[in-house]
């Protein structure tokens, strides 16, 4: 098992390029189940989660060839099951449920796992599939769904759900008739999936808005598509610049996808400005405290909450960070306290009183974004920080230590 060893206190400077978005490519790869033929994708990041979904698709007879470009060949499906051993490590594996039912007429998918950041039920997925005509039952930890041919329906989500919206968009693409999804998730990754599906021959309007209309078609075909840059990775490097009083040019960064993050970081004192096809971020001499509340897009993303908390831990004054999306996403707090952070948890709120400095310490990561936050804290801390269990980090960040090294960070991956 690997760990990160970080010698903090270095101001990060230079240029970094953002990789493709994990949360965009995973549903798009799942969508290839809908369409026989060859699919070609550019800018697919080299991540553990990509290898996991490739293995999952392989068990269904789909051939995935990693590289640039990333190629997927789909023929007759040879399986319809997503086993526990794979789904337990990556919640996004549930995204094969809709495509399998739509194309193969049946699916057996393990109830999902992934990061331990709170309850993330899939009841909205299942209710939606039932509205589309699928028969659903839960048996021994698996969702078993079947339908000879799905039919269009009007579906209103009780809560905004990204993977639920994506699953039902894919299922409805081959359904008979028209489907309308109300209170749909508006994240850019949902819009990206809609764009890729339309290139495959689907008829989808409104992806990325609260109302999505899908007119079912008889069949889809192969596609060539370039994956959007990862907005959370972009935000993470912005925070790195702020924490280290750095000056970082971030290439392939879409500011339009980071509105709420940019607003809060500017309030905290960071300078953020477009520069050609990139974004330059400069950190302030002293960070200002700001209050943050996570919300579904276009609000402040929960996937940036842990990183922002590190920034506030070194800010002048006291800030309140409210987590409204996942109820168990403060597990990094105890580790930050070990470094000298002054953080108090009050229900869904973290009260963060800024301190003059953090001190390096041995730390243990609990989930993907917590891993990133602990690495950021190590970059800003005095002395040496060791972050264990970084396999979480490898699920969502491509070569993070190598990118940081190019910015001047003293960080290395070592075998424990």
Retrieve residue 103's tokens. Answer: 């194309």
CA within 13 Å, CB half, 393? 24
Residue 78's CB is within 10 A of a number of other CB atoms, namely: 11
Residue 382's CB is within 10 A of a number of other CB atoms, namely: 14
3-state secondary structure string across 27-83: HHHHHHHHCCEEEEEECCCCCHHHHHHHHHHHCCCCEEECCCCEEEEECCCCCCEEC
How far is 169 from 38, CA to CA, in rounded Å? 21
Q: Rounded to the nearest 5°, which phi and psi values hold at 201?
A: 110, 5
Catalytic (active site) residue 186: no
- Helix orientation angle between 22-31 and 188-199, rounded to the nearest 10 degrees: 30
Angle made by CA atoms 364, 342, 270, in degrees to the nearest 5:
90
In the set 64, 115, 186, 253, the catalytic residue is: 115
How far is 95 from 125, CA to CA, in rounded Å? 9
- Helix orientation angle between 162-173 and 123-131, rounded to the nearest 10 degrees: 20
What lies within 8 Å, CB to CB, of 24 at 6+ separation is 188, 189, 192, 193, 227, 228, 230
136 touches 64 (CB < 8 A)? no
347 touches 362 (CB < 8 A)? no
Name the E strands within 81-149: 81-82, 106-110, 135-139, 142-146
Retrieve residue 372's tokens. Answer: 């990133």
User: Hey, which residues are catalytic here?
Assistant: 115
């Amino acid at each position: 098992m690997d760990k990160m060893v970080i010698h903090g206190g270095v101001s990060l400077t230079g240029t970094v390029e953002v990789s493709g978005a994990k949360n965009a490519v995973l549903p798009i790869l799942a969508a290839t189940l809908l369409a026989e033929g060859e699919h070609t994708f550019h800018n697919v990041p080299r991540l553990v989660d990509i290898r996991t979904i490739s293995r999952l698709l392989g068990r269904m007879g789909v051939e995935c060839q990693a590289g640039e470009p990333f190629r997927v060949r789909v023929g007759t499906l040879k399986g319809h099951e997503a086993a526990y051993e794979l789904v337990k490590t990556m919640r996004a594996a549930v995204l094969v449920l809709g495509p399998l039912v739509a194309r193969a007429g049946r699916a057996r998918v393990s109830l999902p796992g992934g990061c331990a950041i709170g309850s993330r039920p899939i009841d909205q997925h299942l209710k939606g599939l039932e509205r589309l005509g699928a028969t659903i039952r839960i048996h021994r930890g698996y969702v078993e769904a079947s339908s000879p041919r799905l039919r269009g329906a009007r579906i209103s989500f009780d809560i905004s759900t990204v993977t639920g919206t994506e699953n039902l968009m894919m299922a409805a693409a081959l359904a008979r008739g028209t489907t309308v999804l109300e209170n749909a998730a508006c994240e850019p990754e949902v819009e990206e999936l809609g764009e890729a599906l339309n290139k495959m021959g689907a008829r989808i309007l409104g992806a990325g808005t609260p109302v999505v209309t899908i007119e079912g078609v008889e069949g889809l075909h192969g596609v060539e598509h370039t994956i959007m840059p990862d907005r959370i990775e972009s935000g993470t490097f912005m925070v790195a610049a702020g924490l280290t009083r750095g000056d970082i040019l971030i290439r392939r960064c879409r500011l339009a996808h980071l509105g709420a993050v940019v607003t809060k970081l500017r309030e905290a004192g960071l300078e953020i400005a477009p520069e050609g096809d990139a974004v330059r971020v400069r950190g302030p001499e002293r960070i200002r405290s700001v209050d943050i509340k996570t919300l579904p897009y276009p609000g402040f993303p929960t996937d940036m909450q842990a990183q922002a908390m590190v920034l506030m831990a070194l800010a002048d004054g006291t800030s309140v960070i409210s987590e409204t999306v996942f109820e168990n996403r403060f597990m990094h707090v105890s580790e930050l306290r070990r470094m000298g952070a002054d953080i108090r948890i009050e229900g869904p709120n973290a009260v963060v009183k800024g301190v003059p400095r953090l001190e390096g310490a041995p730390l243990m990561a609990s989930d993907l974004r917590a891993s990133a936050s602990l690495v950021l804290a190590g970059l800003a801390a005095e002395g040496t920080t060791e972050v264990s269990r970084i396999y979480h980090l490898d699920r969502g960040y491509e070569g993070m230590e190598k990118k940081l090294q190019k910015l001047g960070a003293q960080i290395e991956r070592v075998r424990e």
